[in-house]
Structure formats: structure tokens, C-alpha cells
Amino acid sequence: MNTNVNMQTVLSSYLANYQTHHTLSPRQAQVCHHMQDCQTDALGGLQWCCDQCAYQRAAYHSCRDRHCPQCQWRATQAWRDKQREHVLPVSYFHVVFTLPHTLNGWVSLHPEVIYRCFFAAVWATLKTFGQDPKRLGGQMGVVAVLHTWGQNLGRHVHLHCLVPGGALDQSGQWQAVKGQHDYLFSNRALSRHLRGNMVSRLRKASDNGELNRVTNAAEIDQTLNALMGVDWVVYSKPYLRNPEIIVDYLARYTHRIALDNRRLLGIDDDQVLLSYKDYRDGDKRKVLKLDGEELIRRFLLHVLPKGLMRIRHFGYLANCCREKKLMQIRQSLGERTLKSEGTTQNSKEVTLIPICRTCPQCKQGHLRVTYRYESKYTRRK
């Protein structure tokens, strides 16, 4: 059994056979090419040599595709650190809104429309509940991250929302959640409001001709009516302390999609061993065996349309007003601003200091760049 395996090796071994039975969309083909070229000489790189011994190594560039499991580590860390700076000294809630699997077929046909409506419906639901005078009576803030997969890589569209437990009213005062701090809103009430809002948006999109790939006109009415007859799943968990835990959780898949290479345990007789967590069996770790082509098929289900923003900020956490509103909230809570101009200036000066890499072989010399490998792709002028 080959245990040295990642998604790049799976594509190299099985993508050609997969394409004999399936047609890749232009976007899927682009993502596959990016992942196959990642950290190889195709993208160019640098030759590092030690100035004290004979050690040398080549370091090739990454593809920086958000679907690549071995890319975007620095971007992930930067996003996590930035979100941590915005954490307020209040209780937080991790709210997950799940799209019924009935819409999975429409997601394949019109992902841009479905995802756009889903984001809008979730924010409209939380916004309505937050503005209700009987609840919070103010503007809420939400960080929403789109996930389209489950543990077995099947299509499972849901939004992870990080929600501070309170709202900013019109007078600039912070209104914390009332009563018990481990309770935000009724999940059942959120579910029903989301269901009605989402179905209404989908019906409007259909009337505007945005669901034109659903060729059977009767299917639209049947599907939307069926959606109104089922309960939509909404999950909520409080984080009364250390909200950084959920920030770290969301950061793991903000700049990567579906799969971490560490979950690929090996290849045995053309069967890829995939580690997964079985939530229905006490969160036990289990191993799923998939054909190489089947693993590729499941992975490609989660290729996002180009340009789709899967991380969105709403309310007082929106980019246009976040700094101003957070300052108002901190002042209302009586918290001192942690940042100062001097601290910011010093941190910028530190980043300008060049970093020398110590040679991993002799432990005394430093690695220097002696050669640059050119990428096989030429930039357009």
C-alpha cells in the first residue's frame, strides 16, 4: 500500500481515466491543472544553496488556487489573525444553516444563483431577528463562510456563521442577548424564517429567468412546494469563552476546499483510503474506501464558480463600516482599544527585516538564492 499520497498524486494517477468517462467543465479543468502544477517546476521557483556546506534544494512556487489542499497556508493564517483582532469581549454563537439536499441538483446547474440566494436569505433572517425590539433591537454582525461538503465529500451545502451575542442599537449602545447567554434565537424560528425567505428568493429568480437550465417548468413549482413542507436544519452552539476556537475552526477551510491532504491515508489496489468523522456514531474516526475516479468526482462537486466570494461579512462587520462600528461597541462595553499607532508602526518595521534561513544540514550556514526557475506559463502583456 502506498501511504505517500495527496490529492495531487490522486489526480496524476486517475484523472486521465476519469476524463474518458466524464467531461470536465472549463472551470474544473482549470482547477485540476492548477493542482497538478502546484509546487512543481511548471510554475517555476528558486534554487537555495547553503553558504557554508554543499546543501542545496529547489523550492517551487505554489498554485495559490483556493481548491488546492497544499496551498494558501499563509493566507489562512493571515485571515485567522485578522479575525482575531475583531473579536469582542462578548459571548459568541456558532450558527450553521443547512440547505436541503433537494436543491443539490439545482446547485449543479446554477451554483451562482443558489449560493447568492442562500447568503442573502441567511443574512435577511438574522437581520430580521436582530432588529426585532422584542429580541435585540439593533444591527447584528455576522461572518459567514460557505461550505459545500460533508465528511464523505458528498454535496452538503451549509453556511457557518460566527455571530457575536448582541446588537448595536441606533444610539450606538451594545444590546447583549437577553436572559441566558447560551441562547441566541430559537432554531425552529430561524429555520422557518429561512425556509420562507429562501423559497421566495428562488421563486423570484425563476420568474426572472435565472434558473433557465431547469428545463422542466413543473419541476420548479414541485420542488419549491416540497421545500416548504420539510423542516430546514439550523444548528447553534454558544461560545461563552474563547471565541477564538470557532475562528480557528472556520479558518481551516477559508482558503481551501473540501479536503485536507492529511485525510488521505494511502492507496491500496486502486482504492483511496479516506479518513472521516462519523457524526452519527459519536464522532468516531473511520476509514472510507473510494475508487480514485470516485474521489475525483466527489472533489469536483465542490469546485466553486470563479470569483464567488465564499467568505462574507454582514451588518456592523461589513468591510465598509467595521472599524467604526467596532470602536463604538468597544466604547459602549468600556473596553480600551488594544491597538495604538506606535504598536502598528513597530509591527510594520519588524516585517521589513529580512529573514535568513538556517541550513537544515549543517545548522550553521544560511540558505541563499542562487538560481530562479522560470515558469512554463508566460504572462500576458
Rounded CA-CA distance 239/168 in Å is: 19
> Do residues 251 and 76 make contact, with C-beta atoms less than 8 angstroms apart?
yes
Burial (CB count within 10 angstroms: exposed 0-12, middle 13-18, buried 19+), residue 86: middle
Residue 68 resides in a domain? no
Residue 114 resides in a domain? yes
HSE at residue 84, side-chain half, CA atoms within 13 A, is: 12
| Per-residue pLDDT at 180 | 59
Rounded CA-CA distance 308/305 in Å is: 6
User: DSSP string spanning 134-191?
Assistant: TTT-SB-EEEEEEEEE-TTS-EEEEEEEEEESEEE-TTS-EEEPSS-TT--S-HHHHH
Residue 56 resides in a domain? no
> How confident is the prediction along the chain (381 residues), in pLDDT tens digits per residue?
677 889 999 999 999 999 999 999 999 999 999 999 999 989 999 999 998 888 989 889 999 999 998 888 888 889 999 999 999 998 899 999 999 999 999 999 999 999 999 999 999 999 999 999 999 999 999 999 999 999 999 999 999 999 999 999 999 999 998 765 667 899 999 999 999 999 999 999 999 999 999 988 889 999 999 999 999 999 999 987 777 888 888 888 788 888 888 899 999 888 999 999 888 888 899 999 999 999 999 999 999 999 999 999 999 999 999 999 999 999 998 864 444 333 333 433 433 334 467 888 888 888 988 888 888 876 544
Residue 61 resides in a domain? no
Q: What's CA 176's distance to the chain center, in Å?
A: 28
Dihedral of CA 119/303/102/189: which sign? negative
> Do residues 214 and 220 make contact, with C-beta atoms less than 8 angstroms apart?
yes
Helix, strand, coil shares of the chain as percentages rounded to 5?
40, 25, 40
Residue 27 resides in a domain? no
| Per-residue pLDDT at 378 | 61
Domain that holds residue 126: 73-337
| Per-residue pLDDT at 335 | 63
> Do residues 67 and 256 make contact, with C-beta atoms less than 8 angstroms apart?
yes
Residue 130 resides in a domain? yes
Q: In total, how many domains does the chain have?
A: 1
| Per-residue pLDDT at 223 | 95
Residue 64 resides in a domain? no
pTM (predicted TM-score): 0.87
Residue 11 resides in a domain? no
Rounded CA-CA distance 21/150 in Å is: 25
Residues found in the chain: 381
